[in-house]
Amino acid sequence: MRRRDFRENQQPLVMIIPMIDIMLFLLVFFMISTIYMVQTNSIQVSLPQAEQATQETRPRVVPITVLSTGEILFEKDTMQSENLPQRVHDTLAADTATIFLLMGDKNSKYENVVSVLDLLKKSGARHVSIATEIKH
């Protein structure tokens, strides 16, 4: 029977290749999973940028879009500005914690965005957010 020599130090083996494989797998997994976290039920507009932008996390967010042509979209329905207060009132009757997300195209007139914001406030909307993109 051979005795163990305690003076002999063996260096531990670190297997780098399997660790790299696992890290690449995790990277791909998170990249693919974030694709499905993006909200896809909104109209594509070119938003202005802000450094302190945050994303709303409440369950009921209603997007209101002001296009560069001046058209108003409530969720995805085109509507006249006269009909907006009634639609907002009906939405608030269903859920008072509803957040209205105002998305104004950066090429739209400032007057159009402000008039929609004013209509929202007159209709009783307490939670209004203005959508921006994060400045890189």
The answer to the question of residue 107 being in a domain is yes
Lowest mean pLDDT among 28-32, 45-49, 53-57, 74-78: 53-57
Alpha helices in the chain (DSSP H): 16-35, 84-94, 110-122
Lowest mean pLDDT among 11-25, 54-68, 93-107: 54-68
pLDDT above 80 for 125: yes
Place of tokens 């690449």: 24
Mean pLDDT of 32-50: 70
Task: Kindly tell me the burial class for residue 73, based on how many C-beta atoms sit within 10 Å of its own C-beta (0-12, 13-18, 19 or more).
Answer: middle
d(CA 105, CA 67): 5
The answer to the question of residue 4 being in a domain is no
The answer to the question of residue 95 being in a domain is yes
Mean pLDDT of 87-99: 88
Mean pLDDT of 56-79: 83
Lowest mean pLDDT among 46-50, 73-77, 90-94: 46-50
- 100: nearest Cα among 108, 90, 91: 91
Residue 130: its pLDDT value, please? 87
Average pLDDT, the chain: 82
Of the pLDDT bands very low, low, confident and very high (cuts 50, 70, 90), residue 27 is very high
Domains identified in the chain, total number: 1
Q: Which domain holds residue 90?
A: 49-134
- The CATH number that applies at residue 54 is 3.30.420.270
The answer to the question of residue 24 being in a domain is no
pLDDT above 70 for 104: yes
